[in-house]
């Protein structure tokens, strides 16, 4: 039966993801309750990323890509960090996404947290991946963990390769100085994640991550105020972009009772500025019409069929290229290894 065209949309795009965090749910609690955003990084994420090896990264990415596909997300703009498994990590992520059948734009988050040698190795991973033909941006963790030399080196590499920089900007007040330091080196091809405390003008697309911002208590980014294009990301909390759209609208509405869901829908569609190929992908949904006013208040809208680059990768809600039961089982095994390492750290 030919589906009603009202059931069909182009592929959805997650404009800011961390596929390495797919195994984090259920992880051992931190040694004490984090009281601020910097403590969340130190006690949770920087312990997790340091514990990752390539096998964990592979199954974390497979699980994240599978969950994205099962939500009608055909393209992921990923931001990766694994300071003890840098070399080859972007290939592992790109291969995992290709196996599942979703598009990915990779980046390694360069930082001086592990000294100049760590920054150099991160830059080299970006350079190597993009030079070999990988679809990527140059990743930077955030200005507040990088020297000016590292920021300039990343900007220079991006310019040399004709790509943008993908980095966290003003997620928390700890990074309030970022605009001053990035002015003059940032460009329109840059992807700025969060911008919660961004009060100055910087060129680039802003990735708004409403659930993550709420979860980290960093504040509401008020994305409607930006002159920049705004896209939507999950910041690693899954790949369900209709859910993120509903959250984006709910938070927009919480700050402005006149907010119209067309705004959050526009942010969702802006993801395709980052991955234009996703406009060719086709997702057939369980619901029609796929209209912002209805979807803002309708839960459990699921993809029935997904076609990426002309290839059917999901039929009757089930992936065609991979076995979801196996991916979940292998990811669970790697989560056990990861949690054991975290308990020892
Ligand atoms: Zn992030």
Gap from CA of 330 to ligand 1 centroid (Å):
25
Ligand 1 centre from 169 Cα, in Å? 9
Q: What is the pLDDT of residues 200-232, one digit of tens each?
A: 899 999 999 999 999 999 999 999 999 999 999
Residues 6 or more apart from 231 whose CB is under 8 A from it?
Answer: 13, 15, 16, 205, 206, 207, 208, 267, 268, 270, 271, 273, 274
Q: How far is the CA of 56 from the centre of ligand 1 (A)?
A: 19
Distance 153 CA to ligand 1 centre (A): 21
State how beta strands 73-78 and 103-105 pair.
Answer: parallel
Q: Which contacts qualify for 121-127: CB closer than 8 Å, 24 or more apart? A: 121/86, 121/87, 122/81, 122/86, 123/150, 123/153, 123/154, 123/157, 124/87, 125/86, 125/87, 125/88, 125/89, 125/90, 126/90, 126/154, 126/157, 127/157, 127/161
Per-residue pLDDT of 162-177, as tens digits, reads 999 999 999 999 999 9
Alpha helices in 70-200 (DSSP H): 89-100, 115-131, 148-161, 178-182
Ligand 1 midpoint to CA 68 (Å): 16
| CA dihedral over 50, 55, 59, 62, signed as positive or negative | positive
| CB count in 10 Å sphere of residue 299 | 8
Distance from residue 26's CA to the centre of ligand 1 (Å): 19
6 pLDDT more than 90: no
Task: Tell me the CA–centroid distance for residue 4 and ligand 1, in Å.
Answer: 37
Report CA(233)–ligand 1 centroid distance (Å).
Answer: 9
Read off the pLDDT of each residue in 241-258 and give the average, rounded to a whole number: 98
Given a cut of 70, is residue 2 above it in pLDDT?
Answer: no
Distance 288 CA to ligand 1 centre (A): 32
The environment of the single-atom ion ligand 1, i.e. residues with CB closer than 5 A, is: 235
Tell me: pLDDT of 4 over 90.
Answer: no
For the record, the structure tokens of 34 come out as 């984090």
pLDDT cut 90: percent of the chain above it: 97
Residue 342, both tokens: 């975290």
Distance from Cα 1 to the centre of ligand 1, integer Å: 41
Domain ranges of the chain: 5-344
Please tell us whether the domain made up of 5-344 is placed in CATH 3.40.50.300: no
CA of 155 to the centre of ligand 1 (A): 19
Contacting residues for 18 by C-beta, under 8 A, at least 6 apart: 78, 79, 80, 81, 235, 236
Residue 1 above 70 pLDDT?
no
Q: How far is ligand 1, taken at its centre, from the CA of residue 79, in Å?
A: 7
Mean pLDDT over the full length of the chain: 97
- The Å distance, Cα 24 to ligand 1 centre, comes to 14
Asked if the peptide bond before residue 51 counts as cis, ω within 30 degrees of 0, the response is no
CA separation for the pair 54, 201 (Å, rounded): 38
Cα of 283 from ligand 1 centre, angstroms: 26
Q: What digits encode the pLDDT tens for the residues 105-164?
A: 999 999 999 999 999 999 999 999 999 999 999 999 999 999 999 999 999 999 999 999
In angstroms, what is the span from residue 218 Cα to ligand 1's centroid? 13
What pTM was computed for the model?
0.98
Under 8 Å between Cβ of 195 and 169: yes
């Amino acid at each position: 039966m030919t589906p009603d065209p009202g059931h069909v949309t182009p592929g959805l795009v997650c404009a800011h993801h961390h596929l390495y965090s797919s195994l984090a749910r259920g992880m051992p609690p931190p040694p004490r309750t984090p009281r601020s955003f910097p403590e969340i990084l130190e006690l949770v994420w920087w312990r997790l990323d340091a514990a990752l090896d390539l096998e964990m990264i592979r199954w974390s990415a497979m699980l994240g890509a599978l969950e994205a596909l099962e939500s009608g997300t055909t393209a992921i703009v990923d931001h990766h960090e694994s300071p003890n498994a840098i070399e080859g990590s972007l290939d592992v992520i790109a291969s995992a996404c290709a196996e599942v059948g979703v598009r990915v734009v990779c980046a390694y988050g360069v930082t001086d947290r592990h000294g100049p040698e760590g920054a150099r190795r991160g830059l080299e991973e970006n350079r190597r991946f993009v030079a070999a033909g990988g679809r990527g941006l140059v990743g930077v963790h955030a200005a507040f963990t990088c020297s000016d030399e590292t920021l300039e080196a990343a900007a220079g590499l991006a310019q040399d390769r004709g790509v943008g920089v993908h980095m966290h900007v003003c997620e928390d007040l700890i990074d309030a100085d970022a605009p001053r330091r990035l002015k003059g080196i940032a460009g329109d091809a840059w992807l700025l994640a969060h911008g919660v405390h961004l009060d100055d003008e910087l060129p680039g697309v802003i990735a708004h991550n409403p659930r993550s911002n709420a979860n980290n208590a960093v504040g509401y980014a008020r994305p409607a105020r930006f002159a920049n294009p705004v896209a939507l990301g999950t910041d690693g909390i899954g790949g369900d972009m209709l859910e993120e759209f509903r959250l984006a609208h709910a938070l927009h509405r919480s700050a402005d009772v006149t907010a119209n869901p067309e705004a959050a829908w526009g942010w969702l569609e802006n993801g395709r500025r980052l991955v234009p190929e996703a406009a060719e992908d086709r997702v057939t949904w369980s619901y029609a019409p796929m209209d912002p006013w209805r979807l803002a208040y309708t839960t459990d809208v699921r993809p029935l069929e997904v076609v990426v680059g002309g290839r059917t990768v999901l039929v009757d809600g089930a992936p065609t290229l991979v076995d979801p039961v196996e991916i979940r089982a292998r990811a669970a095994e790697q989560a056990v290894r990861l949690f054991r390492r975290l308990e020892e750290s």
